[in-house]
Amino acid sequence: MRAARNIFLGLFLLFFTISVGGGLFWGNMNFVQRVPGGADFIVPWKAAQSLMLNGDSPYGENTSRSIQQIIYGHPALPGQYPYRASLPLNFLMLFFTLGWIRDLTLARSIWMIVLEIALAVLVFISLRLARWKLNWLFVLFALFFSVFWMPSVSMLLSGNSIVLQAFLLFGALRAIELEADELGGAMAALALVNIEATGLVFILLLVWVFSVQRWRVLYGFGMMLAILVGISFVLLSSWVLPFLGAVFGNWRADALPSTFSLFEGWFPGIGSRLAQILAVGALTVLFLEWRAVRQQDVRWLSWTASLTVVVTPLLGFPSIPAWLVLTLPGVLLVVSVMVQRWGLLGIGSAVIVTLGLFLGLWGAQLSRTTAVFTLVYPLVLTLLLYWVRWWAVRPPRMWADEIALRG
């Protein structure tokens, strides 16, 4: 009887997986055929394809012209963004499988499925890190919010890989929590991209690892990084300098919004100094919290990592709306504390917070209000994280609380 039930359950899960996967593929294909975009995918996809099929450097002029031809329909004109590949080769290898696919529509559709799966996994990892009881109603609510809030939609439209880094970073914390330290270190190494958005989290992780002497995390990190870098140099030994040239070329061509550009636009005389004051204040907050998290458990580390990601734009680092996907674990952490600790009042507060963030970010996107993404949203979420800090960083004080969280 049990064997028959297991077979039935396995067949049901297989059918469900095929149905969902097929539905996602059909929906993505129709979407891609009708909606242009995906520049953040086209660049690494074409760069990987040029190396694999033509033997061209992914950072060379021939590859850049091919990318520009796809996006603009012609080589980039003076003043247009050059769209040079700016991912390190060890991460660009992720696109090798899709590089075999010459049809952009098909390749982009598959990539969107990868991003959607990563987003769903990120939600579940965030809920586990937040110790949220996995009630299916709450899970569906979290998934709906996470898929349709503005940063996720922006990420999917552009094909940006930031959700993979978010999944790997917070997945590393979950692995460390489960004492799979080598796996956690390896996942952190795989996420070593977009340093301006994720770099501070790596430094935080190193501070914590040294404080608790979890050296196996460093072993996993070092081994994975050595393997990736070694393979990249075997494939193309001279990739580092052209890669750095592409990165600086893109930076010069398109200065991303930051608190410095924001304040200088508002207050041309003292804007830079105001941005510096804000950066010093944010850095002071991080310094104090990084000191506090030493020798603490992963629960505390997860809250501090969420805060670090949120505060990063306030330090003056450039950012784009899609990168706010990194803050999703912080949002779910705030909501989880409200719902689990404050009863009906918490549920009402969680609805207000999520609805406010949802509508606020979409309103900022539609009105092209850059200040919301670089200043207002980070400040608001920082305040919310501090609002729930006491409950988020400490284990339940009573055995009854623990039973309630486990359900």
pLDDT tens digits, one per residue of 90-131 = 888 889 888 888 889 999 999 999 999 999 999 999 999 988
Separation of alpha carbons 215 and 362, rounded Å = 43
Burial of 366: CB neighbours in 10 Å, binned 0-12, 13-18, 19+:
exposed
Exposure b/e, 100-111, CB count within 10 A at least 16 = b: ebeebeebbbbb
Q: Which of 268, 283, 351, 271 is nearest to 314 (CA)?
A: 283
Buried b (16+ CB within 10 A) or exposed e, 173-189: bbbbbeebbbbbbbbbb
277: tokens are 């004051």
CA 281 to chain centre: 25
Which has more confidence, 15 or 154? 154
For the cut 70, the answer to whether the pLDDT of residue 194 exceeds it is: yes
Q: 292 is written with which tokens?
A: 């506090």
Query: Helix (H, G, I), strand (E, B), or coil: what is residue 321?
Result: helix
Domain spans of the chain?
39-77+85-406
**For residue 255, what pLDDT band results from cuts at 50, 70 and 90?**
low
Phi, psi of 190 (to 5 degrees): -65, -25
pLDDT value at position 182?
Answer: 95
Categorize the per-residue pLDDT at 340 as very low, low, confident or very high, splitting at 50, 70 and 90.
confident
Is residue 122 within 8 Å of 163, Cβ to Cβ? yes
Q: DSSP string spanning 371-387?
A: HIIIIIHHHHHHHHHHH
Query: String of b and e for 334-343 (b: at least 16 CB within 10 Å)?
Result: bbbbbbbbee
In whole angstroms, give the CA distance from residue 113 to residue 224: 25
Half-sphere exposure of 307 (CA within 13 A, CB side): 28
DSSP string covering 91-135: HHGGGHHHHT---HHHHHHHHHHHHHHHHHHHHHHHHHHTT----
For residue 188, name the pLDDT band (cuts at 50, 70, 90).
Answer: very high
pLDDT recorded at residue 214: 93
First-to-final CA distance of the chain = 29
DSSP 270: T
Q: Residue 29's pLDDT is what?
A: 74
Confidence of residue 15 (pLDDT cuts 50, 70, 90): low
| Identity at 1, one-letter amino acid code | M
Distance CA 3, CA 362 (A): 50
Length of the chain equals 407
Output the CA–CA distances (angstroms, integers) from residue 35 to 32, 114, 210, in the order listed: 5, 18, 47
pLDDT digits (tens, 9 = 90+) for 60-70: 888 999 999 99
| pLDDT above 70: residue 13 | no
pLDDT band with cut points at 50, 70 and 90 for residue 323: very high
Query: What sign has the CA pseudo-torsion 325, 290, 350, 127?
Result: positive
Distance (Å, rounded) from C-alpha 154 to C-alpha 48? 23
CB atoms within 10 A of CB 116: 17
Whole-number Å distance between alpha carbons of 122 and 161: 13
Dihedral sign (CA 311, 313, 319, 322): positive
Angle formed at CA 120 by CA 197 and CA 223, multiple of 5 degrees: 55
